[in-house]
Amino acid sequence: MDKVKVGVLGLGRGHTHLCNFLNLEQAEVIGAADRFERLRNRARERITAAEANTKLVPEFDELLEMSLDAIVVATNGRLQVQHSIQAMEAGCHVISEVPGAFTEEETIHLKDAVERTGKTYMLAENTCYWDFFRYWRKWVVEDRFGPVSMANGEYLHYIPSSLYSTVDGTRYTPTQAKAQGLTDLEPVWRADQPPIQYLTHDLGPLLEVLDDRVVSVTCRSAPWRSEEAPLRSDGQIALFQTAKGTLIEILVTLNTRRPCEHRYRLFGTLGATEYSLYEGFARIMDRSREESKGWERVDISLAARGDDTSTGHGGADSKVAQSFIDALLKGKPAPIDVYRGIEYSLPGIIANKSAEMGGIPLSVPDLRKTPFEGTRFWDVLGLPEADAPSEDYAAKPFSM
């Protein structure tokens, strides 16, 4: 196989995937499907600009009839497992958008389908491809922080448009819908999604940096006070314990009005590092730096030098597409295969169960056929050979 024949299901979020697979020489986008004509028309403009022969259809069944090698599943989170299994049973490899699964039962069905069909499945978690995580993994491997006992991830993403038009898919806030007198609206799939179940952007990369997996969790929910998204908690905070004993705290809010941001931190006994999307650089204080000197600023962020940041999420989306195609053409496992993808998403599902039960600790089941032997992700992405330039951080260190 010289080229992978690709289909794209869902042209909302899937529009970015369509663009990136159209740009790959090793891929041929045969078709794309979406029930909303408005989204198909937007995709048609991009297909025309790329001088491609991609066929646009409204239904998934029509897409499956096109003799595809692989399908991008970019539908809503409640349908991703259903569509992934349907695609694999039709003979297609699958790359699925996050969260990848919505219930614990779905993760079992998804795993069973991969084992039954022998098809490649990959979770399209793009944050793992952010460049600063490559340095974090390098620093952990070099033991720059001593034992890492704790880590933290926060996802702050205000999503007030919790309704959509059943006619053309346009999204509205409840306030907008009321002001315009709209009646043909339904809740979007995330309108009542427990926030902590949208944690793969945070938990996934931390698990790869730490080369670990979650074994238990406790979680609590904030109140339901948002007028724009009253069907979901304003946020949830979960505390996960990993197989190596590290504690990982994850906070997710989709209801807090503020700039969208990701924050990550690692706490070792001899040093620490942190990154804020809002600031756009990392801080580090490793075992070699005197405490009195405070942080070093390291100018590493989402994109590596030379990355095309127009491809989505700081260039990460194009790397996701390329690594999926490479895995298929080389006959190698996907960098985030079905087992690793479940280890990103299932802890959030169990976390919400904990919150519903008042925060009691719950075990996270291991669905692997054989025990986890370590991450393969960095074999694909690679680690930096040298450190990035750094300088003293401007803020003064706090002293007691």
Adjacent-strand bridge partners of 4: 27
70 and 165 in contact (C-beta within 8 Å)?
no
**Looking at the chain, how many residues does it have?**
400
Q: Alpha-carbon torsion 299, 150, 142, 122, what sign?
A: negative
| Tens-place pLDDT, residues 161-177 | 999 999 999 999 999 99
Q: How far apart are CA 316 and CA 377, in angstroms?
A: 14
Indicate the burial class of 178 (C-beta count within 10 angstroms; 0-12, 13-18, 19 or more).
exposed
pTM reported for the whole predicted model: 0.97
Q: What is the CATH superfamily name and number for domain 129-306+338-392?
A: Dihydrodipicolinate Reductase; domain 2 (3.30.360.10)
Whether residue 327 has pLDDT greater than 90 = yes
- Determine contact, residues 236/196, Cβ cutoff 8 Å: yes
d(CA 254, CA 159): 5
User: Do the domains spanning 4-119 and 129-306+338-392 agree at the CATH topology level?
Assistant: no
Instruction: pLDDT band for 312, please (50, 70, 90 cuts).
Output: confident
Phi and psi, residue 233, nearest 5°:
-60, 150
Under the banding of pLDDT at 50, 70 and 90, the label for residue 395 is: low
Q: Which helix (H) or strand (E) holds 238?
A: strand 236-242
Q: Of all residues in the chain, what percent carry a pLDDT higher than 70?
A: 98
Q: What is the pLDDT of residue 399?
A: 59
Parse the chain into domains and list their residue ranges: 4-119, 129-306+338-392
Q: Looking at residue 228, what is its pLDDT?
A: 97
Q: What is the pLDDT of residues 97-116, one digit of tens each?
A: 999 999 999 999 999 999 99
Count of alpha carbons within 13 angstroms of residue 167, beta-carbon side: 5
Number of alpha carbons in the 13 Å side-chain half-sphere of residue 201: 21
- Give me the CATH code for the 4-119 domain, please: 3.40.50.720
Segment 200-216, tens digit of pLDDT? 999 999 999 999 999 99
To 10 degrees, what angle do helices 104-117 and 80-89 make?
10
Structural contact between residues 78 and 192, judged by C-beta atoms closer than 8 angstroms:
no
Mean pLDDT score, 359-376: 97
User: Which pLDDT band holds residue 306 (cuts at 50, 70, 90)?
Assistant: confident
- What band does 260 get if pLDDT is binned at 50, 70 and 90? very high
Q: Taking 70 as the threshold, does the pLDDT of residue 398 lie above it?
A: no
Please compute the mean of the pLDDT values over residues 384-399 and round it to a whole number. Answer: 82
Across 66-105, b (16+ Cβ under 10 Å) vs e yields bebbbbbbbbbbebbbbbbbbbbebebbbbbbbbbbbebe
Sequence letter at residue 183: T
pLDDT at 230: 94
Q: Is it the case that residue 187 has pLDDT exceeding 70?
A: yes
